[in-house]
Structure 1
């Protein structure tokens, strides 16, 4: 049986590329009012998911739209749980109206990166998701605290890898402000994606080999050439004999 990978993208963030990206992915992480997104954008993104047969999930983040949710905040865990629940409730209500089933939850930006390192925060997020709907898949950085917390909370988890981000030797993503942290060269991103799926391996920013598990592969939807990148990555994976997993899990 040929290898397959779920190809996901963060959408509904007001970047203007959603329609052009949708045909090339299998999962969409929909901004639900924290770092970005409002009722109109959530509804439109859910409709696009239904139209293209793309799995829909929630993409909650710190309620910090001025920094696009990419500023790390030191918040009480109870407050984090409340904001996660509020964002899930908001998206889920619209999803019911649009006859779309939510499949997964993937935290956004700084919240995602903090939860990858911080066991307590990861457990808070995992418990909040489990209380909301224990059938949801929790998506987190491969091998990090978040998927481990999800498993302890009784959730199905998906270990996520990135086509367009460089890794450090400890398995964490290199901070965006670090030179070379974001891969802008399409060929290099495609090469990294294929290496992840076929071999479970990436080359770190320091030039070392790093093994990782990948159930889902992320590409970012906010780049200038995001739609072109999505199509090129999709086509390269197919050409390498790797199926894009569109079926619900």
Structure 2
């Protein structure tokens, strides 16, 4: 692989509560998964993040999630599929409005947190998110975990699917993400995560939490913007990719 998109979850501050260094991350990534106000982000934060993305020529995606500000969208919500679809349409539209006044547009959709993990296996919720994206614009690609019910449903609906790799998250032997409450779920060493990305590109595998190798295919790699040392990690990954001759650019 000679090209790779580098994405990050941004725009997640809320009021006086600041999370991450969006400005620094926008100088390093090629795609920004911007919160839409349901799990994080207030209108001023979202507009500022979209403006920053335009200034840095970064593509904006709608980071949609459960309606769960208190839990930062990391708690499963047993919401009816039709209500979930409506929530996703609402979120895409809200962020798209902020994008328009900033001089850009929502270019793709990525579910966040518990919703992202739920629709790896939850067929009904996966179908609801796909239906929402398709109804809003069938031209929008969706970003998700390889092998997930979400990407299968999206492919069936005719949406473009983009497989994603998490540079700073632990993997289970089945290729899913280690739950955040468990040891080894989040990685913090810039050299370690950079090596993981380069091995993924060279060999198509990642070392799982039990030491086994798991096959992973990806067009985009995620560095979480809210992790401690996120900027240093993103810089290390980007530098490592450049040294390896990999072109870092958006998938859209």
**The two structures share one fold, judged by TM-score above 0.5:** yes
Aligned to 2:65: 61
Aligned to 2:143: 139
TM-score by length of 2: 0.95
**In the aligned structure 1, how far is the partner of 2:236 from the partner of 2:188?**
13
Q: Identify the match of residue 170 of structure 1 among 156, 168, 174.
A: 174
Is the 8 Å Cα contact of residues 3 and 198 (structure 1) preserved in structure 2? Answer: no
TM-score by length of 1: 0.96
**In the aligned structure 2, how far is the partner of 1:108 from the partner of 1:208?**
27
Q: Identify the match of residue 239 of structure 2 among 225, 235, 243.
A: 235
Q: Identify the match of residue 110 of structure 1 among 109, 114, 136.
A: 114
- 1:16 to 1:185, Cα distance in 2 relative to 1, 3 A: closer
Q: Equivalences for 1:36-51 in 2 at 5 Å?
A: 36-51=40-55
Is the 8 Å Cα contact of residues 32 and 59 (structure 1) preserved in structure 2? Answer: yes
Tell me, what secondary structure is at the counterpart of 1:67? coil
Q: CA deviation at 1:218?
A: 0.4
Q: CA deviation at 1:197?
A: 2.1
User: What is the alpha-carbon root mean square deviation over aligned residues?
Assistant: 1.2
Gaps in structure 2 of 5+ consecutive residues = 14-18
Q: CA deviation at 1:125?
A: 0.5
Q: CA deviation at 1:118?
A: 1.3
Is the 8 Å Cα contact of residues 30 and 57 (structure 1) preserved in structure 2? Answer: yes
Q: CA deviation at 1:133?
A: 0.8
1:10 aligns with 2:9: yes
Tell me, what secondary structure is at the counterpart of 1:235? helix
Tell me the number of residue pairs that the alignment of Structure 1 and Structure 2 aligns: 247
**In the aligned structure 1, how far is the partner of 2:105 from the partner of 2:232?**
28
Tell me, what secondary structure is at the counterpart of 2:170? coil
1:213 aligns with 2:217: yes
Q: CA deviation at 1:117?
A: 1.4
**In the aligned structure 2, how far is the partner of 1:174 from the partner of 1:13?**
22
Q: CA deviation at 1:16?
A: 3.7
Is the 8 Å Cα contact of residues 143 and 212 (structure 1) preserved in structure 2? Answer: no
1:153 aligns with 2:164: no
Gaps in structure 1 of 5+ consecutive residues = none
Is the 8 Å Cα contact of residues 171 and 209 (structure 2) preserved in structure 1? Answer: yes
**In the aligned structure 1, how far is the partner of 2:27 from the partner of 2:136?**
30
Q: Identify the match of residue 24 of structure 1 among 1, 21, 28.
A: 28
Which string of whole-angstrom CA distances, capped at 9 and with x for unpartnered residues, describes residues 113-170 of structure 1? Answer: 0011112211111111010011111111122111111111111110111100111111
**In the aligned structure 2, how far is the partner of 1:79 from the partner of 1:9?**
27
Q: CA deviation at 1:242?
A: 1.2
Q: CA deviation at 1:101?
A: 2.2
Show structure 1 runs of 4+ deviating over 3 A: none
Is the 8 Å Cα contact of residues 72 and 111 (structure 1) preserved in structure 2? Answer: yes
Q: Equivalences for 1:77-96 in 2 at 5 Å?
A: 77-96=81-100
Aligned to 1:127: 131
Which string of whole-angstrom CA distances, capped at 9 and with x for unpartnered residues, describes residues 210-249 of structure 1? Answer: 1011011000000221111111111011111111014x62
**In the aligned structure 2, how far is the partner of 1:32 from the partner of 1:95?**
11
